[in-house]
Structure 1
């Protein structure tokens, strides 16, 4: 393609990343991707003021349109999706629309009436215990709709999900993982605490498995410092459960950290990062911990094992706190081995999960839709997703 020689910047509408600066996984992934492509494309990102303090305007080369929250809080997400869709349909000036999140599947057929659309499968929220039965059924229906009435191009951050659903849709599913922006010039903040066992996530909910980590630490009689970072308000009952389990531990709960530099400071000062999640799409937090070269212990779910192998992290049996306790003892008792394994994870990260490289995959997708105006079906081979840059 001759896209680099174009003398104009195509306009890409982005729906589903509700707020910048990013502090959640999907928003951070989108923000990182756009960081490398903003000189090539004019991005217009639709936000809601429940997720950002910014006003409508252009920031760091990316245009943000910020909507006020809906007066009925439970319907704010629907309001946000519908208002963003109506804006795009009325505006008519976009070249491509990029829809993040499966729960927005219902707007894709509407957007395709006027535009070529890219959609991303980033997680399967129907498996999170925090949602009611009715909401989980909604997520299941949205996932069915996502593949049954698909966008022109489908991507997934999870190779297992791509393989599972490839036979259920006429589109080719491109596996493009999340990544890391390697900024060697970034200032490292200094914090006092060091050598603690750390867990961090945007939301502290049962599916993240924090209770398993605490149970494991209690079993080995751990007396060192423990830090848990994340918003506990999403599941108050679970927060009480964690308080009860951790009574004998030297623990501190820290609210969600939105400042990326401060979060990285906590990661860099950790002696061990534990990631005991039951379900993931592909975790940005896991990648960020690896970028800090902190030793990792992860649940052995397929989404984690697609990222690193047994030489690059320590895996434990998902849901098994006894096995996790053994792995924690192994890491804490053999620091040289832990540091060696962490360095291997970092080297893998730089080779295969660098946003500077991954962003090019989205550039190719956008230009293909702009130039051919054709969907990417399962029999097509113009774009090979993540495998293409590995081979190249």
Structure 2
């Protein structure tokens, strides 16, 4: 049986790790799956994946010399892996190595420049966004070996467009970082100055402590913190706000949409790729006053208008199933394996 080694950095991280685990779990009847990681939270549910073998970077380094490279594929999900494992090792086996690019990275640090240069080493590049959305320099690095595979949604989509069961109005799920626009959202929400409207913030990050200290007395704002699975908040919230300045594939928007959340999104190419102007509410990224306008517009919508927006926006998620997702990767793995023989 072919062995797939999936490499990531933080096993309890973000969207890339979620997609990695969805794929590896769905492929256990087809391939033998190993997940190689650098760090992991103590609460990580290893028991949920009995057919996947998890090994640390140090364990992989001890194991690598005994591997049979005739039946292997290396799948590096994010270039952060090269911060901990040398790209030169994988370069020797570049025909069986897949390198994933998950975001619209900017060349704004030594780390990003280093990771960017690593792309020139490899001939199998995969992304969850089309090459046209990545900047020119990354398209140059990808060359002609780029493959676009959209992410899968980990939740089953509700079959109805009912909103009567919703308890909360507004929801943010994501990292508390500047580029995620969470401060813009808080500025807009406080300017809204409507005690009858509540906002839930789910996530953590470098801004978490300062936000909690500044807004802990706001009675209609709940800072929930990190959750392994926020599906209950998606299910009970009417609207998800995604104010990011840039994204890869907006996974959290699709997950919220599957649970009948209306979407308020920053007007960036990664969101425009999926959603039309009549299916979501757009606002200018980084403009808290325009976000305030979007919040007021949402609050003014009738139930029929909300149902119409749901019906339009949910049409896009029908193809983002785990089955379609795994089948695309099975074809890719098969193609790489056959070419390497």
Same fold (TM over 0.5): yes
Structure 2 CA distance for partners of 1:305 and 1:212, relative to 1, 3 Å: same
Shift of 1:346: 1.8
Q: Which residue of 2 aligns with 1:77?
A: none
User: CA separation in 2, counterparts of 1:104 and 1:17?
Assistant: 5
Matches within 5 A, 1:142-291: 142-146=115-119, 148-150=120-122, 152-159=123-130, 160-162=132-134, 164=136, 165-183=138-156, 194-201=167-174, 203-223=175-195, 224-232=197-205, 234-235=206-207, 239-241=209-211, 243-244=213-214, 248=218, 250-258=220-228, 260=229, 263-291=230-258
Shift of the 217–168 alpha-carbon distance from structure 1 to 2, 3 Å rule, reads same
Q: Distance in 1 between matches of 2:193 and 2:216?
A: 11
Q: Which residue of 2 aligns with 1:387?
A: none
- Find out whether 1:311 has 2:278 as its counterpart: yes
SS in 1 for 2:86: helix
Partners of 2:110 and 2:266 lie apart in 1 by 26
SS of equivalent residue, structure 2 residue 173 = strand
Specify the alignment match of 2:90 in structure 1. 111
Aligned-pair CA distance for 1:24: 2.3
Q: Say whether the 8 Å CA contact 2:8–2:38 is kept in structure 1.
A: no
Alignment of 1:325-364 (within 5 A): 325-336=292-303, 337-351=305-319, 353-364=320-331
Aligned-partner Cα distance in 1 for 2:227–2:92: 40
Q: Structure 2, unaligned stretches of length 5 or more?
A: 159-164
Q: CA deviation at 1:322?
A: 1.1
TM-score, normalisation: structure 2: 0.85
**Counterpart in 2 of 1:5?**
none
Contact 1:14 1:99 in 2 (8 A): yes
Displacement of 1:145 after TM fit?
2.2
CA contact (8 A) 1:180 1:287 kept: yes
Structure 1 length-normalised TM: 0.75
2:114 to 124, 130, 141: 141
Q: How many residues align?
A: 327
Is the contact between residue 16 and residue 99 of structure 1 (CA under 8 Å) also seen in structure 2? yes
Q: 2:103 aligns to what?
A: 123
1:127-150 deviation per Cα after TM superposition (whole angstroms, max 9, x unaligned): 8xxxxx7xx32122211322x212
Distance 1:215 1:364, change over 3 A: same
Deviation at 1:218, TM superposition (A): 2.1
Question: RMSD across aligned C-alpha pairs, in angstroms?
Answer: 2.9
Give the secondary-structure state (helix, strand or coil) at the position aligned to 1:365: helix
What is the CA-CA distance between 1:182 and the residue it aligns to?
4.6
Go from structure 1 to structure 2 and tell me whether the alpha carbon gap of 1:114 and 1:173 turns closer, same or farther (over 3 Å shift): closer
Distance 2:156 2:299 in 1: 29
Gap change, CA 1:182 and 1:55, over 3 Å in 2? closer
Whether the aligned pair in 2 keeps the contact of 1:17 and 1:30 (CA below 8 Å) is no
Q: 2:34 aligns with which of 23, 32, 44?
A: 44
Which residue does 1:386 correspond to in 2?
none
